[in-house]
Amino acid sequence: MKLTVLVDNTTLIDQYYLGEPGLSFYIEDGGQKILFDCGYSDIFLRNAQKMQIDLMSLDTLVLSHSHLDHTWGLTHLIKAFTEERFAGRMIGLPHLVTHPRTFVSTQESSIGEIGSIVPLKRLDPYFRPVLTRDPFAITEHLIFLGEIPRVLPFEHSPGIGMKSGEDSPDTLLDDSALAYRSPEGLVIITGCSHSGICNIVQYAKQVCHDERIVDIIGGLHLLQPEPARLQGTVAYLKRQELTALHACHCTDLPSKIALAAAAPIREVGVGLTLSY
């Protein structure tokens, strides 16, 4: 598997790509081209073009959850597909793999819509949706985990916003992740880890029947976390004996410093490429 960071809050020095508070990864595995999240704007497309990555030949788009910093770039991908069709170029219908709740409107009282601004019914001309709460194999070795069981009490967190038709805060049941089965162990690929990075790791082990965790890359949703959550996360990850931890996006500096006691922290930014 080869993973390239198309969007992150930061960029790597001397490569001159664009960054934003969002996330998008481009993944190649088993001959398949996979886009994991699409950030907030069109910069995932602009960065990909500069990296000579062809997003017009995608096989699969995976959305980790509904939030704007991971889904609002979808409008720009649809525009790009449409422009290619106007130019007479053949564009396939990639699979779109995500949780069924990803396209349910999510409102924050002081902001408005913070979830997907593209309704599911508008996607049929562009994608073949695979909406699943269950694990789904994207390639032989790359697994979409589906709905993550919340089993670790220290990772409990209050909801964000409100899903349409519901009367309690949204606890992001749609938040999911990918697990890659490498010969050395599992690589966990996350968007924001609203479901808890330790819950994600626990479930990935169960789904993939492998107790070994090699690396984690993505957002860990550790932004001024409660002390109990941060301490629990550090203790849990230390037991995993990771060879690397690529914490990015929604992981603040104090949390990264604390996590350095649990695993070798590695730098992440737009332009980073990892191979497993």
Q: What is the pLDDT of residues 28-84, one digit of tens each?
A: 999 999 999 999 999 999 999 999 999 999 999 999 999 999 999 999 999 999 999
The letter for the amino acid at 257 is I
Helix or strand or coil: residue 149? coil
pTM over 0.85: yes
Round to whole Å and give the CA distance between 222 and 240: 18
Task: Phi first, then psi: give them for residue 61, nearest 5 degrees.
Answer: -110, 130
Instruction: Using pLDDT thresholds of 50, 70 and 90, give the confidence band for residue 90.
Output: confident
Q: What is the pLDDT of residues 5-31, one digit of tens each?
A: 999 999 999 999 999 999 999 999 999
Q: Percent of the chain at pLDDT above 90?
A: 96
Domains observed in the chain? 2-275 (3.60.15.10)
- The conformation of residue 222, written as its DSSP 8-state character, comes to B
C-alpha separations of 96 from 30, 57, 61, 93, 139 in Å: 18, 14, 5, 9, 14
Q: Are 8 and 249 in contact (CB under 8 A)?
A: yes
Instruction: Using pLDDT thresholds of 50, 70 and 90, give the confidence band for residue 153.
Output: very high
Instruction: Using pLDDT thresholds of 50, 70 and 90, give the confidence band for residue 249.
Output: very high
Strand-pair partners of 185: 182
Instruction: Using pLDDT thresholds of 50, 70 and 90, give the confidence band for residue 157.
Output: confident
Instruction: Using pLDDT thresholds of 50, 70 and 90, give the confidence band for residue 156.
Output: confident
Which class for 90: exposed (0-12), middle (13-18), buried (19 or more C-beta within 10 A)?
Answer: exposed
Helix (H) and strand (E) counts for the chain?
6, 16
Sign of dihedral through CA atoms 246, 102, 122, 118?
A: negative
Q: What is the pLDDT of residues 97-110, one digit of tens each?
A: 999 999 999 999 89
Q: Are 199 and 155 in contact (CB under 8 A)?
A: yes
Looking from the CA of 116 toward its CB, the CA atoms found within 13 Å total 25
- The conformation of residue 224, written as its DSSP 8-state character, comes to S
Which class for 59: exposed (0-12), middle (13-18), buried (19 or more C-beta within 10 A)?
Answer: middle
Round to whole Å and give the CA distance between 270 and 25: 9
Round to whole Å and give the CA distance between 126 and 236: 41
Which class for 189: exposed (0-12), middle (13-18), buried (19 or more C-beta within 10 A)?
Answer: buried
Closest CA to 53 of 35, 76, 72, 31: 35
Across the chain, where does the E strand assignment appear? 2-7, 24-29, 32-36, 60-62, 95-98, 106-108, 112-113, 128-131, 136-137, 142-144, 162-163, 177-182, 185-190, 213-219, 244-248, 273-275
